[in-house]
Structure 1
Amino acid sequence: MQFARPLVRATLLRRYKRFLADVTLSDGREVTAHCANPGAMTGLAEPGTTAWVEPAGPGKRKLAWSWRLAELPDGTLACVDTGAANRVVAEALAAGAVPELAPWSTIRPEVRLGAASRADFRLEGPGLPPLWLEVKSVTLSRVPGLAEFPDTVSARGARHLGELAARVAEGERAARVAEGERAALLYLVQRDDCTRVATAADIDPAYHRAMREARAAGVQVFALAARLTHGGITPGPALETVAPLHLEGEEE
């Protein structure tokens, strides 16, 4: 996935109302950029952070700039645009970059899953059961080399896990199990300094438990790195998914 227009270096002044960020461009102008990220963005939204912003193209846009990348003092790049994750994963699926998912040849985005949700992808292939795939963008890292999700309480993320589990769980909860449906979650780590992924149990215990229940029900979990440059983002290698940490009083 290549950015539509060349990114412009800026300095972050403040991020506010979740989806807005004020930045100073290299020419001294102060502008407001759209920030397509509902999370906490821990470690990526400190004032003074180098922000790479993309100018809007022709057409009506409320804001003339969009914040795409954060660059940390050590040169680490992180994509703060969560919407980019699905586009990168679509490229990865088309290229067979996730070997476990490569047999599915038909990739359908944004397919209804449940009464109020849509799955990011539904994968289909001759002689294969359909597979529902949810994608999560990961940018939090509190331990060197370890990426974590979520970076804030994610009731929506927990709900999606429950919906995936319902597609593959045994017993009465899985009315569709006879059809052989499968489900998977793919974490796309959108920063270039991590090699492992885990759930952040201390940030969102409910999501942590939902993940454990989903895995127990048969939901597969994969992780993929993203290769980031100032020109775009491409799929990287598979990453290790680390077993979630246990909460106090929780059984194995």
Structure 2
Amino acid sequence: MQYPSPLQPATLIKRYKRFLTDVILENGEAVTIHCANTGAMTGCGDPGDTIWYSTSDNPKRKYSRSWELTEKANGDMICINTMRANQLAKEAIASAAIAQLTGYEHLTTEVKYGNENSRIDILLDDPTLGKCYIEVKSASLLENDCGYFPDTVSVRGQKHLRELMAVKKNGHRAVLLFVVQHTGIKTLKPAKHLDSDYSDLVKQAINQGVEVFAYASTIETDNISLVEQISFNCD
């Protein structure tokens, strides 16, 4: 996935009200930009970090700049824009970069499904292979050299696991795909210490046949791509 225009650097002052972030531009000007992440973002942006932002030419937007990446002092890159996860997953599947999800004839997104008023992120369909329902999650929490998901209690994530288990029970393929958007994460686990219910549901889903994959990303200021599968461990 390439950005439509080059990202620009700034220095983070603070994030607040979930959607707003104050930064200092290269010219020394302090401005407010948009933050496209409603999560806790633990460790993904500390005052003084270098951040990279995109700029929109949409005149209807109140804040034309959007926080896309964080560059940590140790060189780790983090994509904080959670909307990029679905874009990366769709691109990777279409280009056959995810070996477990190849061979399907049709790919659609945001399809209504389930009994809890959900929309599946990606639906693959094929006359021979049948249907494959894929929920995509963006993982960026790094603690003690391990990646975790979620970064806070995720009632929505719990719902999606229940929906995937129902899909599998109805005879279709069900996949939970973690798009890892922190270059420091080499292995991923459910964050039992933050959401024990989600962790328990992941184990239950795997036992019922839901497939779980985690793929790491290369993150640069001009492009992001999924590159390799990393381990996902429920222990």
For normalisation by structure 1, the TM-score amounts to 0.90
Residues 19 and 148 from structure 1, CA distance in 2 versus in 1: closer, same or farther, beyond 3 angstroms? same
Letter in 2 for 1:15: R
- Partner-residue secondary structure (3-state), 2:87: helix
Instruction: Give RMSD over aligned pairs.
Output: 1.2
Query: What do residues 69-111 of structure 1 show as CA deviations (whole Å, max 9, x unaligned)?
Result: 0010011100000000111111100111111111223111111
Distance of 2:46 and 2:8 partners within structure 1: 18
Aligned to 2:220, which of 203, 224, 229? 229
Deviation at 1:216, TM superposition (A): 1.5
Query: What do residues 160-208 of structure 1 show as CA deviations (whole Å, max 9, x unaligned)?
Result: 0100111113xxxxxxx2xx31110000001112221111100111111
Answer 1 or 2: which has greater strand percent. 2
Do residues 3 (structure 1) and 3 (structure 2) align? Answer: yes
Partner of 2:36: 36
Do residues 64 (structure 1) and 64 (structure 2) align? Answer: yes
Written as runs of structure 1 = structure 2, the 5 A alignment for 1:1-252 is 1-114=1-114, 115-144=116-145, 146-169=146-169, 177=170, 180-242=171-233, 244-245=234-235
Query: What do residues 6-58 of structure 1 show as CA deviations (whole Å, max 9, x unaligned)?
Result: 11111111111111111111111111111111111111121111111111224
Distance of 2:60 and 2:105 partners within structure 1: 37
For normalisation by structure 2, the TM-score amounts to 0.96
Identical positions, percent: 40
Distance of 1:103 and 1:222 partners within structure 2: 17
Letter in 2 for 1:181: H
**2:58–2:64 Cα contact (<8 Å) kept:** no
Deviation at 1:155, TM superposition (A): 0.5
Deviation at 1:217, TM superposition (A): 1.6
Distance of 1:53 and 1:109 partners within structure 2: 26
Distance of 1:68 and 1:82 partners within structure 2: 9
Distance of 1:215 and 1:230 partners within structure 2: 35
Q: Which consecutive residues of structure 1, in runs of 5 or more, have no partner in the other structure?
A: 170-176, 246-252
Distance of 1:161 and 1:20 partners within structure 2: 30
- Partner-residue secondary structure (3-state), 2:37: coil
Distance of 2:30 and 2:3 partners within structure 1: 22
- Partner-residue secondary structure (3-state), 2:36: coil
Letter in 2 for 1:188: V
Distance of 1:210 and 1:34 partners within structure 2: 33
Distance of 1:190 and 1:232 partners within structure 2: 12
Runs in 1 of length 4+ with deviation above 6 angstroms? none
- Partner-residue secondary structure (3-state), 2:121: strand
Deviation at 1:126, TM superposition (A): 2.5
